[in-house]
Amino acid sequence: MNNIIALLVKRTPKFPVSIWLMLFLLTLGLSSSWQRAQANTPQQLLKSGELAQRTTVQNAPAELKNLLTQIDAAASKGDVKGVMQFYGTNFIHGDGLNRQTLEKALTSLWQRYPNLRYSTQLRSWKSEGNAIVAETVTNITGLPSANSNNVALNASITSRQRLTNAKIVRQDILAERTLLTSGRKPPQIDFKLPQQVRVGQKYSFDAIVQEPLGEDFLLGTALEEPIQPNKYLNPTTVNLELLTSGGLFKVGQAPSTPGSQWVSAVVLRGEGLTMVTQRLQVVKK
């Protein structure tokens, strides 16, 4: 048995784990593009001194809802040019992206995964002078197929957009979680991580395999990365290690400066792999 375990550890795979990072870029395409509808309609509907007041989802104009449906369809087709037309020339992102890096990442991602499907919902919206600020929740799904090693994607991203002159000029991701599975029987994981911690604060996160292990070996690793523009385009290589328990149980410590991190768990069992990533916001005390 010891020889088998030693051999297994020696052969632990190394692979790039940038899929979820690219996936977050993909969500930018839809949730941000969606906001163009809001840039047009408030100017038409709020002409009587209501520009400073927050509107409700129920009061969102029909034109906005229709455009949301159209953009969902365009993103699901992988129409990069159709998405990018909604971004301003000087577009900036809270993670340090710009218009050029976003377009490049979307092109690469949709070439790899041409069958992703988008669905965006309005969370809130308001006018600020001549700008529109809106929050959306975007859900992305990609069903497994034989051509992609049975890779399945599921993501939920909450973001805030700012628009002027019918163009997206600023976007910030407020919360996100991505689930990627591969293989015939990927392990089911209960992933626990706080959404927000203070600078310098210690925190725990767990990735617990739900099914009994039986005779299976379990390989895995945890990964913490600061969110930077180059991380969207360049994969991070990880080493999977033999796990002696039914999951990952880690204690991390937030950096001393505010910002955002990706915290991920990768677990391989038998004929399946599961990867979960969540954004962790680090705030001032």
CATH of 2-17+180-283, one of 2.60.15.10, 3.90.470.20, 1.10.10.60, 2.20.130.20: 2.20.130.20
- Token pair in block for residue 132: 């529109």
* Confidence at residue 208, expressed as pLDDT on a 0 to 100 scale: 94
Spatial neighbors of 111 by CB under 8 A, at least 6 apart, are none
Distance CA 86, CA 162 (A): 12
In the chain, CATH 2.20.130.20 sits at 2-17+180-283
CA 135 to chain centre: 15
* Confidence at residue 3, expressed as pLDDT on a 0 to 100 scale: 32
285 residues of the chain, pLDDT tens digit each: 323 333 333 334 444 444 344 344 344 333 333 333 333 444 443 333 344 345 677 776 565 566 567 777 778 889 988 888 878 899 999 888 898 988 887 787 787 777 899 898 888 887 788 877 778 898 999 877 666 667 888 999 998 888 777 677 898 999 999 999 998 889 999 999 999 999 999 999 999 999 887 777 899 999 998 887 776 666 677 788 999 888 999 999 999 999 999 999 999 998 899 999 999 999 997
Task: Note the CATH architecture for domain 19-176.
Answer: Roll (3.10)
* Confidence at residue 24, expressed as pLDDT on a 0 to 100 scale: 41
